[in-house]
A and B are shown apart, each in its own frame.
Chain A
Amino acid sequence: GQNIDQPTEMTATEGAIVQINCTYQTSGFNGLFWYQQHAGEAPTFLSYNVLDGLEEKGRFSSFLSRSKGYSYLLLKELQMKDSASYLCASMDSNYQLIWGAGTKLIIKP
């Protein structure tokens, strides 16, 4: 079966760094996506990885290892506004997104 695993909840301190891990098992692979969803708001696209390695975009970076079926989202210089849920999704061979249940990130002052 197809499956995405990510932690349910994480807590970090303002100004610090946090890494949110995601492991995936899908039938085929056409890319790994991260979305951010603030409470009561729409999910918004953060990043896309299809090749191994690190993609950096400002304070956020995303890493992919296809051989390990593993990705992480790295958030640096955490701000209170980064408190949100982070959704990991893998695109399978049929171009369907398989979603994780999301990681709720709580930022403390």
Chain B
Amino acid sequence: ETGVTQTPRHLVMGMTNKKSLKCEQHLGHNAMYWYKQSAKKPLELMFVYSLEERVENNSVPSRFSPECPNSSHLFLHLHTLQPEDSALYLCASSRGTEAGELFFGEGSRLTVL
């Protein structure tokens, strides 16, 4: 139990569907992150939020849309995805954006058909 909870754990969707991934942290942290993890590749940082404000967007396609309504919750809205978007999506939190100790959720395994 890392203090970061992600739902759903598994998601299968068609390319025309719209779905959302949810992340909640119970650690009182100020920064939250979305990462993409593909097999045998480094973690790819997608979005960073600090105190609910987006501070980093690493050239992520617009079919991925983040939302951070408060410092404890983070969403990733998905629409018209491609099969190559199939991956494990990890949420993480940290005390601040300069802290390298991240606390990860167990991830949402996404399969796009």
Contact = CB atoms under 8 A, between A and B. Distances in A.
A78 to B, nearest CB: 23
Given A33-B101, A89-B100, A97-B100, A42 B45 contact: no
A30 B105 contact: no
Interface centre among A42, A97, A98, A99 (most CB of B within 10 A): A42
Given A42-B107, A44-B104, A95 B97 contact: yes
Interface in A86-106: 87, 89, 91, 95-102
B42 A99 contact: yes
Identify whether the interface residues of B are mostly helix, strand, loop, or mixed.
Answer: loop
Contacts of B90: 42-43
B42 A100 contact: yes
Interface residues of A, number: 24
B12 interface: no
Interface string B76-113: 00000000000000100000011011111111000000
Specify which of A35, A41, A43 lies most central, judged by the most chain B CB atoms within 10 Å of its CB. A43
A30 B97 CA distance: 12
Contacts of B2: 42, 44
Contacts of B41: 101
B74 interface: no
A47 B87 CA distance: 26
Given A4-B42, A101-B42, A42 B100 contact: no
Nearest to B109: A40
Given A42-B2, A42-B90, A87 B101 contact: no
Contacts of A95: 97-98, 100
Given A42-B90, A43-B90, A33 B100 contact: yes
A4 B43 CA distance: 11
Contact of B100 (A30, A43, A44, A102): A30
A57 B94 CA distance: 22
14 contacts: A4-B42, A42-B104, A43-B90, A43-B104, A45-B101, A45-B103, A87-B43, A89-B43, A95-B98, A97-B102, A99-B42, A101-B40, A101-B42, A102-B42
